[in-house]
Amino acid sequence: MKLGLSFSIMALTAGGALAQDLPQASNQWFVDAQTTLEALLSQEENTNRAKNVILLVADGNGVASNYATRIFSGQQEGGLGDDYVQPHEAFPNLALIKTYTTNGQTPDSAPTAATFNSGIKARNDVINVTDAISVGDCAAGAEDEVTLLSEIAAEAGKSVGIVSTARLTHATPAAVYGRTVDRDFEDDTLVPEDCGQTDLAAQMAAQVDAGVIDLAMGGGRQHFLPSDVTDAEGESGSRGDGRNLAEEMTGETGVYVQTQEEFDAIDTASVEGPVIGLFESSHMQYEADRSGEPSLAEMAAAAIEVLSRNEDGFYLMIEAGRVDHANHAGNLARTVRDGRAFAEAIAMADEMTDDADTLIVVTADHDHGLQFNGYCGRGSDITGLCMEVDPAGIEHTGTPNVASDGLPYTVAGYMNGAGSVLIEQIEDETAAADTSQTTTPDVGAAEGETQPVYSGSRPDVTPEEASDIDYLQQALIPMPSETHSGTDVALYAKGPWAHLFNGTLEQNVIFHVMNYAMNAGD
């Protein structure tokens, strides 16, 4: 019987059976798939030189976070969510990216972002130095030579920009311009006195002065201002050297903005000098809470308008930094809202550029420990409870699934984090039970130290509670901050040489494709 089935399939294929002659040809799923096939067959490889390269990174936006954002966006627009297509998901080229570092099965954002910008893998916690350098080794780091994609682009006459919702001195944006043996060296007060390494804010100012960085928008204002200067929101700077880097970077011809009103007033068609936007003392606000500062899409649009005036083109890195932070908090409601804001920035970048001369790369630097429960019926609120599948319909029944403990559960949860169902048991003075234990080094504490006992059970939760903006998804392992994951992330691309992104690739290959695309034909 198996042989007969195989023969029938081969006969249909080899004999050239037409799809429209099959009995399922009128099924809408079949029709849609045929349309997709036709689009795939019509694709042609673009081997033009990339005048422009736009790298869009949603920090921590692994396959799971991307999936959650897809469902959320589709449900926000009135659908069930599963069949929704985000802008980047329509790009013709796709690859899986390995994110491990030279010393970490699980990476952090510093070396992963550096792979995009220097083409090498390195240790966790360092930015754009080789893996011959240990974390914090200032002397060795000073001698380490790594050239950045931004510097290559600037040398070729292109403009360079950075846009991020994180601090501009944070790991991912800093990788566009900086080199450091410790990602925490964000201003001079955070660099050890005997280190002698320049802090990241000062490095960005130096790259602006050198003509490498032409535009930078994001958070992190405190690291650019001296401690005796207050910003537009009354927050003091944190620099100890007295330098006002915001003023140094913009000088007489540049533009320095701190608020939405000042941002809106930027004349992107005529500004001459560097454009610097510092919209928060630390990170910019989550999209769900945003007020008085531009969205990621608005910053992306302004950046492209400014940088596109250069006839030789540009390199622009755009980061949705707070997707990562919401995941760390175990707060999926904010994760997906920042994920949707990222998708809007992708759509903006795509709309404002031409596929013929602009390579657009969309990816993440790493994943998170976000996972999904089953068996949820279609339309279950991605941030809420997992509803029963309707055996006679399409949408869920409206009744929550329950676990063996008799309680409902959410669609999504985290492997670890602040939402852990295991709670530290604080000993009551009147309690007879001993709620601490003596541990040995192999279970997490120094020998002889006491460590609290964690135990608990899952609390009951209503659909309204689970969907609340501040709700923390239930997690297993108790940790103050949810962790990254080492799993592969997806990459989506379109434009010149985007077809080179194919298969499962090492993360540092991304640099090499972007660099090749910018210089194709030389």
Question: How does DSSP assign 389-411, residue by residue?
Answer: P-TTSSB--S-B-B-TTS-B-BS
Task: Specify if 340 maps to a domain.
Answer: yes
Residues 106 and 188 in one domain: yes
In which element (H, E) is residue 239 found? none
pLDDT of residue 17: 62
pLDDT of residue 432: 43
Catalytic residues, which ones?
109
Task: Specify if 434 maps to a domain.
Answer: no
**How many domains does one find in the chain?**
2
Task: Specify if 143 maps to a domain.
Answer: yes
pLDDT of residue 430 exceeding 60? no
**Average pLDDT, stretch 461-470?**
96
Residues 202 and 97 in one domain: yes
Q: Tell me, what CATH number does 347's domain have?
A: 3.40.720.10
Residues 187 and 315 in one domain: yes
Task: Specify if 14 maps to a domain.
Answer: no
Residues 379 and 416 in one domain: yes
Task: Specify if 442 maps to a domain.
Answer: no
**Average pLDDT, stretch 226-242?**
96
Of the candidate ranges 157-166, 228-237, 435-444, the one whose mean pLDDT is the lowest:
435-444
pLDDT of residue 145: 85
484 is an annotated ligand-binding site residue:
yes
512 is an annotated ligand-binding site residue:
no
pLDDT of residue 425: 84
pLDDT of residue 21 exceeding 90? no
pLDDT of residue 448: 59
Burial of 184 from C-beta contacts in 10 A (0-12 / 13-18 / 19+): middle
Residues 317 and 398 in one domain: no
Q: How is residue 521 written in tokens?
A: 């034909």
- Give 250-268 pLDDT, tens digit per residue: 998 999 999 999 999 999 9
Percent of the chain with pLDDT over 90: 84
**Average pLDDT, stretch 45-73?**
98
Task: Specify if 13 maps to a domain.
Answer: no
pLDDT of residue 447: 60
**Average pLDDT, stretch 222-243?**
97
Residues 308 and 385 in one domain: no
pTM beyond 0.75: yes
pLDDT of residue 108 exceeding 90? yes
Task: Specify if 395 maps to a domain.
Answer: yes
Residues 300 and 155 in one domain: yes
Residues 357 and 420 in one domain: no
Residues 236 and 169 in one domain: yes
Residues 358 and 379 in one domain: no
Residues 409 and 328 in one domain: no
Residue 318 near residue 300, CB atoms below 8 Å = yes
pLDDT of residue 40: 85
Residues 145 and 231 in one domain: yes
Go through 363-378 and write b for each residue having 16 or more CB atoms within 10 A of its CB, e for each that does not: bbbbbbbbeebeebbb
267 is an annotated ligand-binding site residue:
no
Task: Specify if 2 maps to a domain.
Answer: no
338 is an annotated ligand-binding site residue:
no
Give dist(CA 36, CA 509) in Å, integer. 28
Domain residues for the domain of 333 are 52-369+484-519
CA atoms within 13 A on the CB side of 273: 16
Instruction: Give 451's pLDDT tier (boundaries 50, 70, 90).
Output: confident
pLDDT of residue 224 exceeding 60? yes
Instruction: Give 440's pLDDT tier (boundaries 50, 70, 90).
Output: very low
Give dist(CA 353, CA 493) in Å, integer. 14
CA atoms within 13 A on the CB side of 130: 8
